[in-house]
Chains A and B, each alone.
Chain A
Amino acid sequence: MRMANDATPVRSEFADDPDMAGIIALFVSELPSRIAAMQSALSTNDFAQLRVLAHQLKGAAGGYGFPKLGEAAAMVDRGIGEGCDHNVIRSRLGMLAAFAARIRA
């Protein structure tokens, strides 16, 4: 028996809603570049930009049927807001990126 592991695909809670199919597919296809933009902001210590991106993802992900993705983004957003150090932010962004990698349309 295979245990669920970190590679288990995550699908949208609204995957069965035909009205949502188009924008969910777009959301998923753009997600890697959003994550890349956040990693790039972190690498240049641009926390303001990282926070804007994390905040937008936090507010929108749930609406696309990915609430856990929103929670992971909220951890990054909150970490910056609370002045956590670079390592903590990097670790949280790593968790966000790992979760995002499992997302499928």
Chain B
Amino acid sequence: MTALPTSLPKVLAIDDSELIHRLLRVRLQYEQIELHGAVEAREGLRMAKTLLPDVILLDIEMDGMDGFEVLQALKADLDLQDIPVIFISATASMEDRVRALDLGAIDFVAKPFEVVELKARVRSALRVQHLVKMLAQKAQVDGLTGLWNRTYFDRRLGQEFAEERRHPRGLSLVMCDVDGFKRLNDECGHPFGDLVLERLSKILQSGRTSDIACRYGGEEFGIILPNTAGDEAIEVAERYRTAFEQETWPAAPGRVITASFGIADLSSLAGAQGPEDLVAAADAALYRAKVNGRNRIECTPSHRPAH
């Protein structure tokens, strides 16, 4: 889940000259990249949006919309603003180069380009992009468990909530809290507590690939279930609950570690205004699970008590 994509990095060239595209295709054919081309600025922006390339090679002088305008549009788009842009221009005035860099271009190559230099600059930009992606992902992954962190949870739940509003296909949220975790830490030590969180996280990661397991905080997990409603959400939570219960702990022989689960199903939550209402509903169900004896699942609305 935390691995970066292994497919070839994508490079998008936006240049109004077919001559340049032919040249790039030949000159970059042995590079470990997937090259795409657009001969018009707006087409280039559209392609950037769907391809999400790792590097963009951008011509300055184009009819209609020039390279500077394309760069500004890229930088104004949250999905595209971190993609490194290398300007390729035959004009190469000092003012243009400075302006391109000031607007956020990462590099500048003059046409006609030296092939060796172009390749080196593309590779350099790809390295930067790799690090940017890695950092962006690291900033969203919990260090101890490898699950998505709270920041990611909030953002993703917001996206899934909005998506569900546009195209309802079912959306459920499971909040899960390890039972008696404080006592566990006190009796077995914090390193064991950490081990428990890691192992339970592995179980959560081994579930359905569509489940989005996050560390919500402390010993609490939030699992977003897109395309899932009603009984199916209960079945998913039940599988996790059983797997937790059955896990053996060589460092604490005979110990059974359990968790309580609260489920909120958006399709049966009338009046939910935003993702926070889904979290509140799942939390309320989790609270009932705790009060009703732990190691159990409760739902909001409580149409069916489980376990």
* Mutual binders A and B: yes
Bitwise interface map of B from 80 to 117 toward A, beta carbon under 8 Å scored 1, else 0: 00000000011000000000000000000001110000
Q: Is there an interface contact between A56 and B17, defined as CB atoms closer than 8 Å?
A: yes
Interface size class of B (residues with CB under 8 A): 10 to 19
Interface size class of A (residues with CB under 8 A): 20 to 34
| A23-B23, A56-B17, A63-B23 known, 5 other contacts, Cβ within 8 Å | A20-B26, A23-B26, A57-B19, A63-B19, A74-B90
Give the nearest-CB partner of B92 in chain A. A59
Q: With an 8 A cutoff between CB atoms, is A55 at the interface?
A: yes
Bitwise interface map of B from 128 to 152 toward A, beta carbon under 8 Å scored 1, else 0: 0000000000000000000000000
Q: Is there an interface contact between B61 and A55, defined as CB atoms closer than 8 Å?
A: yes
Residues of A within 8 A of B61 (CB): 52, 55
Q: With an 8 A cutoff between CB atoms, is A82 at the interface?
A: no
Q: Is there an interface contact between A61 and B22, defined as CB atoms closer than 8 Å?
A: no
Residues of A within 8 A of B90 (CB): 55, 58-59, 74
Q: Is there an interface contact between B19 and A70, defined as CB atoms closer than 8 Å?
A: no
| Shortest distance from the beta carbon of A70 to any chain B beta carbon, whole Å | 6
Query: Which residues in chain B, 1-50, are within 8 Å of chain A measured between CB atoms?
Result: 16-17, 19-20, 22-23, 26-27, 29
Give the nearest-CB partner of A73 in chain B. B90
Q: Is there an interface contact between A27 and B26, defined as CB atoms closer than 8 Å?
A: no
Q: Is there an interface contact between A67 and B112, defined as CB atoms closer than 8 Å?
A: yes
Residues of B within 8 A of A60 (CB): 17, 19-20, 23, 111-112
| Shortest distance from the beta carbon of B20 to any chain A beta carbon, whole Å | 6
Query: Which residues in chain B, 162-200, are within 8 Å of chain A measured between CB atoms?
Result: none
Q: With an 8 A cutoff between CB atoms, is A19 at the interface?
A: yes
Residues of B within 8 A of A20 (CB): 26
Q: Is there an interface contact between A63 and B111, defined as CB atoms closer than 8 Å?
A: yes
User: Main SS of the interface on chain B?
Assistant: loop
| Shortest distance from the beta carbon of A82 to any chain B beta carbon, whole Å | 13
Q: Is there an interface contact between A62 and B26, defined as CB atoms closer than 8 Å?
A: no
| Shortest distance from the beta carbon of B153 to any chain A beta carbon, whole Å | 48
Residues of B within 8 A of A59 (CB): 17, 19-20, 89-90, 111-112
**Chain A to chain B: the 8 pairs with minimum beta-carbon distance, closest first:** A62-B112, A59-B90, A60-B19, A59-B111, A56-B17, A63-B23, A63-B112, A23-B22
The chain A residues found within 8 Å of chain B, CB to CB, are 19-20, 22-23, 26-27, 52, 55-64, 67, 70, 74
Give the nearest-CB partner of B59 in chain A. A59
Q: Is there an interface contact between B112 and A26, defined as CB atoms closer than 8 Å?
A: no
Q: Is there an interface contact between B29 and A63, defined as CB atoms closer than 8 Å?
A: no
Residues of B within 8 A of A27 (CB): 19, 22
Given contacts A20-B26, A52-B63, A55-B90, contact A63 B17 (CB under 8 A): no
Could you pull out 17 A-B pairs where Cβ atoms are within 8 angstroms? A20-B26, A23-B22, A27-B19, A52-B16, A52-B61, A55-B61, A56-B19, A56-B20, A59-B19, A59-B111, A59-B112, A60-B17, A60-B19, A63-B20, A63-B23, A63-B113, A70-B112
Contact of B111 among A19, A23, A26, A62 (CB under 8 A): A62
Give bound CA distance, A70 to B29, whole Å. Answer: 24
Residues of B within 8 A of A23 (CB): 22-23, 26
Query: Which residues in chain B, 196-223, are within 8 Å of chain A measured between CB atoms?
Result: none
| Shortest distance from the beta carbon of B178 to any chain A beta carbon, whole Å | 60
